[in-house]
């Protein structure tokens, strides 16, 4: 009992500390241990062995505590991998204890040898782990604690002492208090402060302020070469007091890491707190339309604008922003060419060098004012700087250390060398950079130049922890970093990432590109981090996903360099695998397809590597990665089957491929083929006895059941997976599938509670901007539709559409466009807007070659019926949809039966037939809301037959059920039917009460026309 108590205390303490230290996977360790201990207390199988295992767990927890308080966040990828492996060991132990609880005494007796073998394996793994962390990484509280025969009491006391002595540092250390990995630093947009040194731009600033504070919307473009102070000028305008008072919201977006228009939209959406969607640009515009007076600065806009293939889209988005009357725009770009939108007149001319007087002011803010005898030297240095603000700042930094005469003397010496080397035509900015690189402060740390060279490939910058973990061969790293900061060649951003300005990065890449010995360790470290995420993506990993997001720009740059410059085929193999992982990660996190993916086929040809080929093939089978017409999926799958059946390869790769093939065929509703590959994957997974592979394949089979509308099968499979998924991301996926089945069964309140809990967990894990989060929102929208809360459902689908696009989760995007259009039919949206969403969805389904394009046919039938009363066209379209959706798309089939069975429309003259079929199929599939609706249709039919008594009984039964299900519209329709019967009986009072109740429910469902009809009936009754 003491060991169990101490283990709980250690797990709780470690969870608190690890949440601050933000070490991936440690929170999962703690949560599993806290769940394991009560199970060990209750277990009947080999209690002594289980207690020994808890002793090993306590030992490892103490080691992890030491790691958390002493690591400084310097986490080698191998260590993270080992911690993740430890989580899997704990999960295996947990799965055994859970299963053991469900066994009776007789079963336990017959399974004794199996129980013993499993526990021996778990105990061996736990003992190995505690030895590994103590020996491999030198982790332990002290020498005494690290000893394997140390007692629990001693470890516990030392653990308490460690927590006590280190608590103060946790309260004050900023690196522990806040995470540095919230997003790609190039995408972050925290409002910068007023520039501390700002001279020589009074005229330009006054012109900008005139536009910002005038009556016309400001559309300001700041042009000029690098180092001219464009960003500083924009920041000065942004921070002006009058501007701050005028604009209730101000935003500064750096576009340096936005290589495409999609990247740009994602960066802005991240800053605004918007979800990714297929119409993200539209959502951003809508946000600003609603936001009141706003000012948006797009800095370094040339990055997404310059590539010819993205220019039109970039300009189109910029033009849509310019159409927002309450939004002021400031755009900074290198060069002299203007994007084609209507800018304020007169144009702000491209920035030119500042005046000599302004240059002197910058000098005097950074360096001491010159003595009389140094005035000549200052004048010459100002001439040499060309009065470029960045060049002046760099020169002044050198002067502050070397003095005026010393700086001038060194400039003259090095400038002569430049001329002799044929570089006399270099720009003044380049010459200033060269001079800074030759300054004594930098020369005193000769390796600082190497560090700056490395930064030229890192648009996201790099943290000290990443530099240390990647083992970059730069001696005296801290001193080199300080030298770069002192000479203004680098700076620390708000996330404490060391970065270099774009002009300096570009110069270094061209003049002093980093040697492979510098860039390769960082690339390898990031590839290893990616690999850890890939192998253990089924585990909650703390902030690991956000660490990767924070370095996406770096990964792109480093992998591109590796492909272009590293001629080692072994490196190509690693890079190729990393690209496929990066692409999968990018799609999960709603970043779209990685541009690097197009380089993989050439790598496959160059290396002949089969595993890379089939990993890439798996990416192709994801129908949102490329246009399906670009390859023959059936032939690709057939070749893959032959390969994995005849070649010895890692079983995980075979399971991965079969799972992809399963999902592909399920999406096309090829049931037999989907089940064939599901059986193959599940069979392999079970033979390995890896609980995570088994759980994953069961959940993919769950998706088959979802696609075919069999909610009972979903629940059964989810229950099987539930025995294996505790403490993993698969548990969240299992709960989402169960919630979906519960919602389809009509238990809406229960489903909504589960979904809200899932949403909270995903946000906590850093997956707010992910396809996992979209799936939860999509189900929440289904709940609101089930309750006929159309505006709430519309808002959720609008959120999904805003987070996605034709290039980012296009399936989600098209689906939400369809739902938004359909909801619009009943809530008064203009037909123009409805058709715009419908046409966009149809174009997307066509590009994906998706059979879900049938949704567009159904929606056109709905539009014909409810907006144009064109019964003949609607009837024809519904019959077509029923024929094509039978056995494939249960939702479309259900909706068409519902329309045909509704006696209010009487299409085709077979209403009773369709309503009866609708009832039978709804009962078979156990879809309660559809069952209630079918019964309501039959009640209407009984009314038309003059059988008010039967109709009353049916209406009342349905009314009771839908009241429990909380479906407002269906409840109102039942009350309306009962009110009509009451009127025929002459009971005007009862009819008035029923219609009054129905009216409030119809208002809740946004049924404006139906409310008007009820109002007219109440008016006829003189109802007050």
Judge whether 24 and 542 are in contact, CB under 8 Å: yes
Which pLDDT belongs to residue 732? 85
Q: Which CATH number fits domain 202-334: 3.40.50.300, 3.40.50.360, 3.40.50.720, 1.10.606.20?
A: 3.40.50.300
Which pLDDT belongs to residue 899? 94
Three-state SS at 967:
coil
Q: 955 to each of 202, 932, 972, how far by Cα in Å?
A: 76, 10, 11
Residues ≥6 apart with Cβ < 8 Å to 331:
220, 221, 222, 297, 298, 301, 318, 339
d(CA 693, CA 658): 12
Lowest mean pLDDT among 352-366, 421-435, 452-466, 631-645: 421-435
Q: Is the pLDDT of residue 348 over 70?
A: yes
Angle formed at CA 184 by CA 180 and CA 185, multiple of 5 degrees: 65
Q: Is the pLDDT of residue 414 over 70?
A: no
Which pLDDT belongs to residue 832? 93
Judge whether 240 and 209 are in contact, CB under 8 Å: yes
Lowest mean pLDDT among 70-79, 256-265, 403-412: 70-79
pLDDT digits (tens, 9 = 90+) for 571-618: 999 999 999 999 989 888 878 788 888 899 999 999 999 889 988 988
What is the arithmetic mean of pLDDT over 891-895?
A: 93
| Per-residue tokens: 268 | 């802005």
Average pLDDT value for the chain: 84
d(CA 921, CA 155): 64
Which sign, positive or negative, has the C-alpha torsion 151, 152, 157, 162? positive
- Where does the pLDDT of residue 141 fall: very low under 50, low under 70, confident under 90, or very high at 90 and above? very low
Closest among 147, 25, 153, 9 to 89, alpha carbons compared: 25
Number of CB atoms found within 10 A of residue 720's CB? 17
Judged on CB neighbours under 10 Å (0-12, 13-18, 19+), 998 is buried
Q: Is the pLDDT of residue 567 over 50?
A: yes
Strand bridging mode 491-492 / 327-334: unpaired
For 603-656, the DSSP string reads HHHHH--HHHHHHHHHHHHSTTTS-GGGS-HHHHHHHHHHHHHHS---HHHHHH
Q: Residue 821 CA to chain centroid, in angstroms?
A: 26
- Where does the pLDDT of residue 778 fall: very low under 50, low under 70, confident under 90, or very high at 90 and above? very high
Higher pLDDT, 549 or 765: 549
Strand bridging mode 219-224 / 294-299: unpaired
What is the arithmetic mean of pLDDT over 542-562?
A: 88
Lowest mean pLDDT among 201-215, 277-291, 706-720, 977-991: 277-291
Q: Residue 180 CA to chain centroid, in angstroms?
A: 17
For 445-502, the DSSP string reads STTHHHHHHHHTT-TT-B-HHHHHHTT-S-SSHHHHHHHHHHTTS-EE-TT--EE--H
- Where does the pLDDT of residue 154 fall: very low under 50, low under 70, confident under 90, or very high at 90 and above? low
Counting residues of the chain whose pLDDT is more than 90, the rounded percentage is 33
pLDDT digits (tens, 9 = 90+) for 901-920: 999 988 877 899 999 999 99
Three-state SS at 589:
coil
Closest among 367, 389, 233, 224 to 302, alpha carbons compared: 224
Three-state SS at 187:
coil
Which pLDDT belongs to residue 942? 95
d(CA 99, CA 45): 11
For 784-813, the DSSP string reads HHHTT-HHHHHHHHHHHHHH-BSSSSHHHH
Lowest mean pLDDT among 75-79, 86-90, 321-325, 683-687: 75-79
| Per-residue tokens: 128 | 């190995």
What is the arithmetic mean of pLDDT over 849-873?
A: 93
**Region of residue 324 (left: phi > 0; alpha: psi -120 to 50; beta: else):** beta
pTM of the model: 0.68
pLDDT digits (tens, 9 = 90+) for 203-225: 999 999 999 999 889 999 998 87
| Per-residue tokens: 169 | 């540092």
For 742-753, the DSSP string reads HHHHT-HHHHHH
Which sign, positive or negative, has the C-alpha torsion 252, 255, 260, 263? negative
Lowest mean pLDDT among 352-356, 823-827, 990-994: 352-356
Q: Is the pLDDT of residue 836 over 90?
A: yes
Which pLDDT belongs to residue 257? 74
Chain position carrying tokens 């809360």: 789
Q: Is the pLDDT of residue 965 over 80?
A: yes
Which pLDDT belongs to residue 164? 53
Q: Where in the chain is the domain with CATH 3.40.50.300?
A: 202-334
What is the arithmetic mean of pLDDT over 937-952?
A: 95
Residue 327's H or E segment, with its range, is strand 327-334
d(CA 767, CA 539): 13
Judge whether 691 and 723 are in contact, CB under 8 Å: no
Judge whether 822 and 788 are in contact, CB under 8 Å: no
- Where does the pLDDT of residue 187 fall: very low under 50, low under 70, confident under 90, or very high at 90 and above? very low
What is the arithmetic mean of pLDDT over 789-810?
A: 89
Which pLDDT belongs to residue 320? 92
């Amino acid at each position: 009992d003491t060991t169990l108590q101490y283990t709980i205390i250690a797990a709780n303490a470690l969870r608190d500390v690890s949440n601050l230290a933000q070490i991936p996977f440690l929170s999962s360790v703690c949560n599993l241990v806290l769940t394991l201990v009560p199970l060990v207390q209750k277990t009947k199988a080999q209690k002594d062995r289980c207690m020994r295992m808890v002793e090993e767990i306590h030992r490892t927890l103490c080691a992890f505590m030491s790691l958390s308080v002493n690591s400084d966040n310097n986490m080698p990828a191998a260590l993270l991998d080992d911690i993740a492996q430890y989580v899997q060991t704990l999960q295996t132990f947990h799965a055994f204890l859970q299963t053991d609880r469900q066994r009776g005494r007789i079963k336990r007796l017959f399974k004794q040898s199996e129980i013993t073998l499993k526990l021996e394996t778990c105990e061996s793994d736990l003992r190995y782990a505690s030895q590994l962390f103590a020996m491999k990484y030198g982790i332990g509280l002290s020498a005494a604690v690290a000893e394997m025969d140390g007692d629990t009491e001693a470890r516990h006391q030392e653990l308490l002492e460690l927590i006590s002595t280190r608590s103060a540092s946790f309260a004050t250390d900023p690196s522990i208090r806040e995470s540095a990995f919230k997003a790609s630093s190039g995408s972050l947009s925290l409002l910068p402060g007023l520039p501390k040194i700002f001279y020589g731009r009074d005229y330009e600033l006054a012109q900008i302020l005139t536009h910002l504070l005038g009556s016309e919307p400001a559309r300001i473009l700041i042009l000029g070469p690098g180092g001219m102070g464009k960003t500083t000028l924009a920041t000065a305008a942004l921070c002006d007091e009058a501007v701050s008072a005028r604009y209730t919201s101000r935003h500064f977006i750096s576009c340096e890491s936005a290589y495409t228009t999609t990247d740009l939209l994602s960066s802005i959406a991240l800053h605004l707190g918007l979800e990714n969607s297929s119409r993200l640009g539209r959502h951003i515009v809508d946000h600003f339309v609603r936001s009141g007076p706003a000012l948006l600065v797009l800095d370094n806009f040339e990055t997404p604008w310059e590539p010819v293939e993205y220019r039109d889209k970039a300009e189109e988005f910029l033009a849509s922003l310019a159409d927002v009357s309450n939004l002021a725009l400031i755009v900074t770009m290198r060069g002299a060419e203007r994007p084609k939108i209507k800018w304020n007149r007169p144009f702000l001319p491209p920035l030119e060098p500042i005046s000599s007087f302004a240059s002197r002011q910058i000098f005097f803010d950074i360096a001491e004012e010159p003595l009389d005898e140094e005035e000549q030297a200052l004048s010459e240095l100002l001439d040499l700087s060309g009065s470029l603000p960045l060049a002046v700042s760099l020169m002044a930094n050198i002067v502050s250390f070397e003095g005026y005469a010393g700086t001038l003397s060194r400039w003259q010496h090095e400038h002569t060398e430049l001329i002799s080397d044929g570089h006399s035509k270099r720009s003044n900015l380049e010459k200033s950079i060269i001079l800074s690189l030759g300054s004594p402060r930098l020369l005193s740390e000769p390796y600082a130049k190497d560090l700056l060279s490395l930064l030229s490939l890192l648009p996201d910058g790099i943290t000290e922890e990443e530099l240390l973990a990647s083992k970059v061969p730069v001696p005296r790293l801290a001193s080199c970093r300080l030298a770069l900061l002192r000479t203004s060649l680098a700076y620390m951003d708000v996330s404490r990432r060391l970065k270099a300005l774009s002009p300096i990065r570009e110069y270094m890449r061209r003049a002093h590109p980093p040697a492979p010995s510098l860039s390769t360790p960082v690339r390898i470290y990031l590839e290893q981090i990616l690999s850890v995420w890939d192998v253990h993506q089924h585990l909650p990993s703390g902030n690991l996903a956000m660490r990767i997001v924070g370095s996406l720009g770096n990964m792109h740059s480093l992998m591109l360099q590796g492909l272009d410059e590293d001629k080692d085929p072994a490196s190509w193999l690693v890079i190729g695998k990393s690209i496929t992982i990066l692409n999968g990660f990018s799609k999960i996190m709603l970043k779209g397809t990685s541009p690097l993916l197009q380089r993989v086929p050439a790598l496959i040809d160059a290396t002949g590597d089969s595993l890379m080929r089939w990993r890439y093939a798996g990416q192709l089978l994801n129908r949102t990665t490329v246009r399906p017409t670009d390859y023959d999926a059936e032939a690709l799958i057939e070749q893959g089957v032959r390969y994995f059946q005849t070649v010895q390869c890692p079983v995980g790769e075979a399971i991965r491929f079969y799972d992809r093939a399963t999902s592909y065929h399920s999406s096309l509703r090829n049931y037999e083929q989907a089940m064939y590959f599901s059986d193959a994957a599940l069979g392999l997974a079970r033979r390995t006895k890896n609980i995570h592979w088994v759980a994953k394949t069961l959940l993919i089979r769950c998706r088959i059941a979802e696609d075919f509308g069999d909610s009972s099968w979903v629940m059964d499979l989810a229950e099987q997976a539930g025995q294996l998924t505790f403490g993993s991301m698969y548990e969240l996926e299992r709960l989402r599938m169960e919630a979906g089945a519960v919602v389809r069964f009509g238990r809406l309140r229960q489903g909504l509670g589960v979904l809200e809990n899932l949403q909270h967990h995903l946000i906590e894990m850093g997956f707010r901007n992910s396809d996992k989060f979209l799936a939860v929102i999509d189900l929440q929208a289904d709940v609101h539709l089930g309750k006929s809360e159309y505006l709430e459902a519309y808002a959720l689908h609008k959120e999904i559409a805003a987070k996605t696009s034709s290039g980012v989760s296009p399936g989600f995007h098209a689906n939400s466009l369809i739902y938004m259009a359909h909801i619009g039919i009943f809530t008064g949206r203009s037909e123009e807007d409805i058709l715009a969403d419908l046409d966009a969805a149809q174009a997307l389904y066509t590009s994906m070659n998706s059979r879900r394009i049938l949704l567009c046919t159904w929606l056109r039938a709905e539009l014909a019926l409810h907006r144009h009363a064109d019964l003949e066209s609607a009837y024809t379209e519904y019959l077509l949809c029923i024929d094509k959706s039978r056995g494939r798309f249960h939702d479309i089939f259900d909706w068409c039966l519902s329309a045909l069975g509704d006696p209010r429309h009487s299409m085709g003259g077979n209403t009773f037939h369709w309503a009866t079929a609708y009832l039978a199929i709804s009962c078979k599939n156990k879809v309660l809301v559809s069952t209630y609706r079918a019964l309501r249709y039959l009640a209407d039919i009984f009314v038309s037959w003059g059988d008010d008594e039967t109709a009353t009984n049916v209406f009342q039964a349905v009314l009771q059920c839908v009241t429990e299900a909380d479906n407002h519209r269906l409840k109102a329709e039942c009350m309306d039917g009962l009110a009509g019967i009451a009127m025929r009986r002459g009971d005007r009072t009862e009819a008035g009460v029923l219609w009054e109740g129905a009216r409030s429910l119809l208002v809740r469902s946004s049924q404006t026309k139906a409310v008007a009809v009820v109002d007219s009936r109440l008016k006829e009754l003189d109802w007050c």
